[in-house]
Amino acid sequence: MPSQKTGFKSVDDYIAAQPKNAQAALRRVRSIIRKAVPTAVEVISYQMPTFKIADGSFLCLGGWKEHYSLYPASDALVAAFKGALTPYRASKGTLRFPLSEPVPVTLIERIAKFQAKDAARRAKAKLARRRQASGSRN
């Protein structure tokens, strides 16, 4: 369960407030995401570490007593990764990784890269729709 503390000022604050047994995994996952998407900026959004690129947020990280989670696990992500995410799919939109298992480094790298690329694709499509809508009004 996430800490009851609110108003985190940084990702470091968030990780420090999580259960001791989750902190190492959260630091590891954070490092993996930062390495996979070096242009990402870390912010706190919805009281969780959130990774953003110029095109918007692409991944959130949550710490819990028995696991850590990545959000969102979109239908596009699940489809692209076929069965690789099945053991971690907790519910629609959530990937849950048990703290009792090693951090799946390569899988998390792939997820981060996919999500960043997908965020850029969605932003580009949104811009194209706006341009098309403004052009049709003239």
Segment 61-117, tens digit of pLDDT: 999 999 999 999 988 899 999 889 999 987 888 999 999 999 999 999 999 999 999
Q: What stretch of H or E contains 59?
A: strand 56-63
What was the pLDDT predicted at 3?
43
In the CATH scheme, what is the code of domain 11-136?
3.90.1150.200
Segment 19-59, tens digit of pLDDT: 999 999 999 999 999 999 999 999 999 999 999 998 789 99
Identify the CA nearest to 43 among candidates 52, 54, 34.
52
Cα distance between the two ends of the chain: 52
Q: Quick one: pLDDT band at residue 129, thresholds 50, 70, 90?
A: confident
Separation CA 41–CA 22 (nearest Å): 22
Residue 67 contacts residue 60 (beta carbons within 8 Å)? no
Which residues does residue 98 pair with via DSSP β-bridges, in sequence order? 67
Calculate the CA dihedral of residues 53, 115, 109, 45 and round it to 10 degrees: 60
Q: Rounded mean pLDDT of the chain? A: 89
Output b/e per residue, 18-57; b: 16+ Cβ within 10 A.
Answer: beeebeebbeebbebbbebbeebebebeebbbbbbbebeb
pTM of this prediction? Answer: 0.86
What was the pLDDT predicted at 127?
77
Q: Quick one: pLDDT band at residue 2, thresholds 50, 70, 90?
A: very low
